[in-house]
Amino acid sequence: MLKVDIDNQVKQVPFELKGKDFITMADFEPNDIFFLLDQALEMKSLQKKGIPHPYLSGKVLGMIFEKSSTRTRVSFEVGMMQLGGQAIFLSSNDIQLGRGESVEDTAKVLSRYVDGLMVRTFAHESIEQFAKSADVPVINGLTDLHHPTQVLADLLTIYEHKGTLTGLKMCYIGDCNNNMCHSLLEGAASVGMHLSITSPSGYEPNLTIIEKAKQVGKATGSIVNYTDSPEEAIEQADVVVTDVWTSMGQEVEQKERIKAFTPFQVNASLCSHAKEDFIFLHCLPAHRGEEVTAEIIDGPHSVVFDEAENRLHAQKAILKNLMK
């Protein structure tokens, strides 16, 4: 359990999360994030011990996918099964949303059938419209702007390997104007981690998001900074994170991006500036030889498969507390 961090930052538990949406990490107070991480550890412990935990017996999660997925789909489906409920996969091509029905009407109709909605889409405005129109909790499975369920799993993984979160230095290297970086900014600031991010010119983070993260950091002790020097960013880092250089929908930019990001590859030379016991995270899928070398992602510092597994446990904590 997150006893050290909770003793320092969380004074009252549990928190009433029922019925809330999970759209960005910034939707929740730092106390809520720590509570969800505690719940994720509980979910993981029960699953590993083979102890049934049907907290959502009889509940149904509707899952709308406008973007393809491996980890998001399987972890949410398995999570609902382990919680005693069911999940329904809804491709945008298979429902009326793909034929022009409005987001608002789709959200209102599905709210009459299911107990919660997970949406994986492109425009962040779409999921905000879902949340505004739905009468059930809405969970962001990924948008172009944010990926909060992944970052909750990342924080869980870091805690498991480091024994704490507060005061650690995380370094994110790559495209800083993407969903992973934005959610990491919010998540790290909430739990008091220091975050140094770095990218080539032209790929800086959303200004509003980084400024809000810095403001949150003033209360939690988190220091957030941006630099165009990967060596400076990774210096003495406890955690090193990267993501693909070309995300879904950006394929036409691939050649240009590879040229820009090559100096920002996570490799042994760059990682020599991090702490000797650093851990490496990547949300996957990964392109070995591009954003990261095989030596790093398949090496002793990598915890990417623990991270992938933790999507299941972190999301079960979200589902349990929003849909209970």
Known binding site: residues?
69-72, 96, 120, 147-150, 179, 243, 247-248, 283-284, 311
271 is catalytic: no
Catalytic residue from among 9, 39, 129, 150? 150
Catalytic residue from among 171, 176, 271, 283? 283
Known binding site for carbamoyl phosphate: residues?
69-72, 96, 120, 147-150, 283-284, 311
Residue type, 171: C
Q: Give the three-class secondary structure for 79.
A: helix
Tell me how far apart the alpha carbons of residues 52 and 236 are, in angstroms, rounded to a whole number.
42
Tell me how far apart the alpha carbons of residues 264 and 59 are, in angstroms, rounded to a whole number.
45
Catalytic residue from among 194, 257, 311, 313? 311
Longest dimension (CA), the chain: 55
If we measure between CA atoms, which residue out of 124, 111, 120, 133 comes closest to residue 27? 124
Beta carbons within 8 Å of 31's beta carbon, 6+ residues apart: 9, 10, 11, 12, 13, 15
Tell me how far apart the alpha carbons of residues 250 and 242 are, in angstroms, rounded to a whole number.
17
Catalytic residue from among 38, 120, 176, 257? 120
- Report CA torsion sign: 221, 213, 191, 220: positive
176 is catalytic: no
- Report CA torsion sign: 230, 266, 257, 247: negative
If we measure between CA atoms, which residue out of 37, 60, 291 comes closest to residue 175? 291
53 is catalytic: no
257 is catalytic: no
Known binding site for L-ornithine: residues?
179, 243, 247-248
115 is catalytic: no
Show the beta-strand stretches assigned E in the chain. Answer: 60-65, 86-91, 116-120, 138-142, 169-173, 194-198, 224-227, 239-242, 279-282
Catalytic residue from among 124, 146, 147, 182? 147
- Residue 60's φ and ψ, nearest 5 degrees, are -130, 130
Q: Which two tokens stand for residue 262?
A: 């090559």
238 is catalytic: no
Q: Which two tokens stand for residue 282?
A: 């990547």
The two beta strands, 116-120 and 138-142, are parallel
Catalytic residue from among 243, 257, 282, 301? 243
List active site positions: 120, 147, 150, 243, 283, 311
